[in-house]
Amino acid sequence: MKPLYLLLLLLSSQAFAEEIGSPYLAQAQAGDSRAQYYLAETYYSSGDDKQAEQWAEKAATGGDVDAMALLSQIKFKHGDLVQAKGLAQQAMVAGSAPGAVMLARLLVNTQAGKTDYPQALSLLEKAAENTEDDAAVDAQLLLGLIYANGVEVAQDDAQATTWFKRSSTLSRTGYAEYWAGKVFQQGEVGFITPNKQKALYWLNLSCSEGFDTGCEEFETLSGE
C-alpha cells in the first residue's frame, strides 16, 4: 500500500540505480541481501517492476524475508494473486511484518481465494502496534479501509477514522484519509467496490485535516 510514482524512466536501469540506488547498489552487487532488498524497493517505488523483481528475488534467495513480501506485492500488482498469497504466507511465517500486511490484504480479497477477515484483522492489529516498523503505516491504513468498507465486518466509520488518523500520524496528516478516498473512488477488484459517496467523505476528511491534495481531489470529484 505505497503508491509512489516518479519519473526517472528515461535513464538506463544502471544509471538510475547509481543515482538513487546508492548506497545500496555496490553492496547489493556484492551480495548483501538487505542491500538487495532496499535496492529492489527503490526500483519498485520508481515504477521499474522488472528490476525490482530481479533484485527482490536475489534478496529473498539470500534469506531476506521482507524481500519475499515485496515479491508478493509485485505479484499482487500484476494480478497473480494466488502466487502473491503464497509468498506473503511464507514471509509472514518467517517473521516479516510487511509479509503479514500483504497476507492480510490478500485474505480480504475474493480474487485470492476464500476470505478470512478474522485472521486478517489479527495480523493487521499486531503489525499496527509496532510503530517502529514502516509496515504499521500500511497495517493501520488497511484496518481503516476494512472498517470503512463494511464487508464481512460491520461498517464502522468511527473505527475507520481512528485507524486512518493513526496511520497518518506516522506518515503525514490527512494522507491515509486521502488514500481511502482514492481507493473508494477507483475501487479494488475483489475487495472494494467503487463508491463515490464514500470517496467524497474520506477526501473531505483528508482536506479538513489540512492535506491539500485531498482538497483538490474532493473538489474535482464533487464536480463530476
pLDDT per residue as tens, the chain (224 positions): 443 322 223 233 444 444 555 679 999 999 999 999 999 999 999 899 999 999 999 999 999 999 999 999 999 999 999 999 999 999 999 999 999 999 999 999 999 999 999 999 999 999 999 999 999 999 999 999 999 999 999 999 999 999 999 999 999 999 999 999 999 999 999 999 999 999 999 999 999 999 999 999 999 999 98
Strand partners for 188:
192
**Structural contact between residues 48 and 33, judged by C-beta atoms closer than 8 angstroms:** no
Rounded to 5°, the CA angle 133-3-192 comes to 95
Q: At a CB cut-off of 8 Å and minimum separation 6, what does 78 contact?
A: 49
Alpha-carbon distances of 199 from 39, 151, 160, rounded to whole Å: 34, 16, 13
Alpha-carbon gap, residue 144 to 165, rounded angstroms: 9
Distance CA 79, CA 42 (A): 21
Q: What are phi and psi of 192, to 5 degrees?
A: -125, 125
- What are the tens digits of pLDDT across the range 84-97? 999 999 999 999 99
What confidence score (pLDDT) does residue 138 get?
96
Place of cell 473538489: 219
- Which residues make Cβ contacts (< 8 Å) with residue 187, sequence separation at least 6? 193, 194, 195
